[in-house]
């Protein structure tokens, strides 16, 4: 599904085509400056040591609101993820990287962003934190 095309079509139908545009790209390749930057279920696949840099890159693109998800670290989820590695390959867990909340808060602060709110989103084995951050004012 081309999310950018869907956003453009909906913006046009709402009479907002001149004010709304959407761009989808690989995280490392995207450039520009945007009022809203969103990155859902992408950061969970990057190695944990790259997380602060990836978040800094997203923040550098953002003039206003930054929305993203990350896989929160917890001992229980880490154990479940480890056990999932023993299942047959066709039923194996996805390779996600869990990040500690302190790392997220520090990366936001280092990027000049302020955490506005966050919420846990989960069902079954899917567990992420949804975060809204904005520029320090």
pLDDT score, position 89: 60
Mean pLDDT of the chain: 85
DSSP 8-state class, residue 92: P
| Higher pLDDT among residues 6 and 111, named by residue | 111
DSSP string spanning 93-132?
A: PP---EE-HHHHHHHHHHTTEEEEEEEEEEETTEEEEEEE
Kindly indicate the confidence band of residue 92, based on its pLDDT and cuts at 50, 70 and 90: low
56: its two tokens: 């800094």
Considering only CA atoms, which of 16, 53, 52 is closest in space to residue 35?
16
pLDDT tens digits, 22-70: 777 888 889 999 999 999 999 998 889 999 999 999 999 999 999 999 9
| pLDDT (mean) for 87-108 | 80
pLDDT score, position 115: 96
């Amino acid at each position: 599904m081309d999310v950018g095309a869907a956003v453009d079509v909906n913006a046009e139908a709402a009479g907002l085509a001149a004010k709304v545009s959407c761009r989808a790209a690989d995280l490392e390749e995207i450039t520009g400056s945007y009022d809203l930057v969103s990155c859902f279920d992408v950061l969970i696949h990057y190695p944990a040591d790259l997380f602060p840099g990836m978040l800094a890159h997203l923040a550098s693109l953002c003039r206003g609101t930054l929305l993203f998800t990350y896989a929160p670290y917890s001992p229980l989820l880490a154990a479940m993820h480890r056990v999932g590695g023993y299942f047959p390959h066709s039923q194996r867990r996805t390779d996600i990287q869990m990040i500690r909340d302190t790392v997220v808060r520090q990366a936001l602060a280092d990027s000049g962003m302020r955490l506005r709110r966050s919420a846990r989103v989960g069902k079954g084995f899917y567990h992420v934190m949804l975060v809204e951050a904005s520029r320090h004012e």
